[in-house]
Amino acid sequence: MDSSDKKPLQPLDESRFQVSPWTLRVDTWMGRLISFGGISVVLAVLGMLVFLVWQVVPLFTGAKVTSQPELRLPAAVVAFGEDEYGALPFIGLADGTIKFLQSSDGAVTETWTPELAGRHVSAVRAYSRQGLVLLGLDDGSVQFAKITYRVEFTSQGDRHLSPQVKLEKPLTVGKLTSPVRDAWVAQSANGSLVVLQQELNGHPVLTATRLLERKGLGGRVTVIPGTPSVVAEGVTDIAEVLVPSTADTVLVRRRSHEVLVYNYNENTEAFALTQTFKPFANTAQPEISSAGLIFGNVSAVFANRQGAQEVWSLYPQKQPDGRSLRRWGLIHEGETLPGVPQGIFPAEGNKCYLVVAGDRLQIRNMTTGSLRWEGPAPKGVQQVIFSRNYERFTALTSEGKLVRWKLEDRYPEASWSTFFGKIWYEGATEPAYTWQSSSGSDEFEAKYSLVPLFYGTVKGTFYALIFALPIALLSAIYVSQFLRPEYRNIVKPVMEIMASLPSVVLGFLAGLWLAPLVDTHLISIFCVILILAPLGLLVGAIWAGLPQPWRRQVKPGLEFVWFLPILAIFVTLAWQLGPWVESLLFTVKEGQTGTAIVDFREWWRQVSTLGYDARNCLVVGFAMGFAVIPLIFTIAEDALSNVPQSLVSGSLALGASRWQTVWKVVLPTALSGIISAVMIGFGRAIGETMIVVMATGNTAIMEANPFSGMRTLSANIAVELPEAPAGQTHYRTLFLGACCLFILTFVINTLAEILRQRVRDRYKVI
Partner 1 sequence: MSSTPTTSTTARGEPWVWLTSLGLIVGLVMVAGLLSLVVSEGLRVFWPETVAVTELKEGRAIIGPMVQRRIRPGSPASAPVYERQYQVGMREVNGQAYQWFDESRVVKESFPAEVMGLERMENGPAFVRPVRLTNSAGKVYQATEAAFATELQNEVSRAAGIREKIASLTKNEIGDLNSQMEKSRIDLRRAEDQHLPVEPIKARLEQLNQAYAGLHDQAENLQKQAGLAKLEVLDAAKNAHVIPLFQIVRAWSPNQLSFGERLGIFFSRIGEFITAEPREANTEGGVMPAIFGTLAMTVFMSLLVTPFGVIAAVYLREYAQQGFLLRFVRICVNNLAGVPSIVFGVFGLGFFVYVLGGTIDQLFFADQLKYNNHSPVFGTGGLVWCSLTLALMTLPVVIVATEEALGSVPRGMREASLATGASKWQTIRYVILPAAAPGILTGVILAMARGAGEVAPLMLVGVVKLAPTLPIDATAPFLHLDRKFMHLGFHEYDLGFQSPDSDAARPMVFATTLLLIILVVCLNIGAIYIRNRLRARYKSASF
Taking CB under 8 A as the criterion, the residue among 97, 113, 436, 745 binding partner 1 is 745
Per-residue contact flags (x/-) with partner 1 for residues 267 to 306, judged by CB under 8 A: ----------------------------------------
Q: What residues between 615 and 634 interact with partner 1 by CB under 8 A?
A: 626, 629, 633
> What is the end-to-end Cα distance of the chain in Å, rounded?
58
Q: State which residue, 444 or 659, has the beta carbon closest to partner 1.
A: 659
Taking CB under 8 A as the criterion, the residue among 358, 687, 697, 706 binding partner 1 is 687
Burial group, residue 734, by CB count within 10 angstroms (0-12, 13-18, 19+):
buried
Based on the shown chain and the rule CB under 8 A, indicate whether residue 89 belongs to the binding site for partner 1: no
- Helix ranges restricted to H, 402-450: 416-420
The distance of closest approach from Cβ of residue 629 to partner 1 in the complex, given in angstroms and rounded to an integer, is 6
C-alpha to C-alpha distance for 668 and 675, rounded to whole angstroms: 11
Taking CB under 8 A as the criterion, the residue among 194, 195, 395, 473 binding partner 1 is 473
Taking CB under 8 A as the criterion, the residue among 12, 284, 541, 569 binding partner 1 is 541
Taking CB under 8 A as the criterion, the residue among 301, 472, 635, 710 binding partner 1 is 472
Q: What is the DSSP letter of 423?
A: B
The distance of closest approach from Cβ of residue 485 to partner 1 in the complex, given in angstroms and rounded to an integer, is 14
Q: What residues between 487 and 526 interact with partner 1 by CB under 8 A?
A: 491, 493-498, 500-505, 507-509, 511-513, 516, 519-520, 523
The distance of closest approach from Cβ of residue 140 to partner 1 in the complex, given in angstroms and rounded to an integer, is 53
Q: State which residue, 239 or 656, has the beta carbon closest to partner 1.
A: 656
Q: What residues between 694 and 733 interact with partner 1 by CB under 8 A?
A: 694, 714, 717-718, 721-722, 726
Sign of CA dihedral 34, 39, 44, 45: positive
C-alpha to C-alpha distance for 56 and 49, rounded to whole angstroms: 11
Taking CB under 8 A as the criterion, the residue among 149, 478, 526, 763 binding partner 1 is 478
The distance of closest approach from Cβ of residue 438 to partner 1 in the complex, given in angstroms and rounded to an integer, is 17
Backbone angles phi, psi at 682, to 5 degrees: -60, -45
The distance of closest approach from Cβ of residue 660 to partner 1 in the complex, given in angstroms and rounded to an integer, is 5
Helix (H) or strand (E) holding 457: helix 451-477
The distance of closest approach from Cβ of residue 397 to partner 1 in the complex, given in angstroms and rounded to an integer, is 42
The size of the interface with partner 1 (CB under 8 A), counted in residues, is: 125
Diameter of the chain measured on Cα atoms: 147
Q: What is the DSSP letter of 335?
A: P
Taking CB under 8 A as the criterion, the residue among 535, 577, 667, 675 binding partner 1 is 535
Q: State which residue, 649 or 657, has the beta carbon closest to partner 1.
A: 657
* Pairs from 483-490 (Cβ < 8 Å, separation ≥ 24): 483/557, 483/560, 484/555, 484/557, 484/558, 487/557
Based on the shown chain and the rule CB under 8 A, indicate whether residue 693 belongs to the binding site for partner 1: yes
C-alpha to C-alpha distance for 199 and 205, rounded to whole angstroms: 6
C-alpha to C-alpha distance for 708 and 716, rounded to whole angstroms: 17
Taking CB under 8 A as the criterion, the residue among 688, 696, 730, 755 binding partner 1 is 688
Q: State which residue, 297 or 475, has the beta carbon closest to partner 1.
A: 475
Q: What residues between 53 and 82 interact with partner 1 by CB under 8 A?
A: 55
Piece in contact with partner 1 (CB under 8 A), picked from 103-111, 368-376, 407-415, 749-757: 749-757
C-alpha to C-alpha distance for 650 and 668, rounded to whole angstroms: 15
Sequence letter at residue 217: L
Helix (H, G, I), strand (E, B) or coil at 399: coil
Helix (H) or strand (E) holding 316: strand 309-318
C-alpha to C-alpha distance for 307 and 310, rounded to whole angstroms: 10
C-alpha to C-alpha distance for 141 and 170, rounded to whole angstroms: 6
Burial group, residue 329, by CB count within 10 angstroms (0-12, 13-18, 19+):
middle
Helix (H, G, I), strand (E, B) or coil at 8: coil
Based on the shown chain and the rule CB under 8 A, indicate whether residue 763 belongs to the binding site for partner 1: no
92's CB contacts (< 8 A; 6+ apart) are: 77, 78, 79, 80, 81, 98, 124, 126, 133
Q: State which residue, 475 or 672, has the beta carbon closest to partner 1.
A: 475
Taking CB under 8 A as the criterion, the residue among 750, 758, 761, 766 binding partner 1 is 750
The distance of closest approach from Cβ of residue 183 to partner 1 in the complex, given in angstroms and rounded to an integer, is 44
Piece in contact with partner 1 (CB under 8 A), picked from 83-91, 385-393, 432-440, 575-583: 575-583
Q: What residues between 9 and 28 interact with partner 1 by CB under 8 A?
A: 19, 23-24, 26-27
Based on the shown chain and the rule CB under 8 A, indicate whether residue 46 belongs to the binding site for partner 1: yes
729-765 helix and 617-641 helix, angle to the nearest 10 degrees = 30
Q: What residues between 150 and 209 interact with partner 1 by CB under 8 A?
A: none
Q: State which residue, 379 or 664, has the beta carbon closest to partner 1.
A: 664
The distance of closest approach from Cβ of residue 731 to partner 1 in the complex, given in angstroms and rounded to an integer, is 8
740's CB contacts (< 8 A; 6+ apart) are: 450, 454, 713
Q: What residues between 130 and 149 interact with partner 1 by CB under 8 A?
A: none
Based on the shown chain and the rule CB under 8 A, indicate whether residue 30 belongs to the binding site for partner 1: yes
Q: State which residue, 230 or 471, has the beta carbon closest to partner 1.
A: 471
C-alpha to C-alpha distance for 427 and 313, rounded to whole angstroms: 7
713-720 helix and 667-687 helix, angle to the nearest 10 degrees = 20
> 280: alpha, beta or left, given left = phi > 0 and alpha = psi -120 to 50?
left
Based on the shown chain and the rule CB under 8 A, indicate whether residue 683 belongs to the binding site for partner 1: yes
Per-residue contact flags (x/-) with partner 1 for residues 555 to 574, judged by CB under 8 A: ----xx--xx--x-------
Q: State which residue, 371 or 567, has the beta carbon closest to partner 1.
A: 567
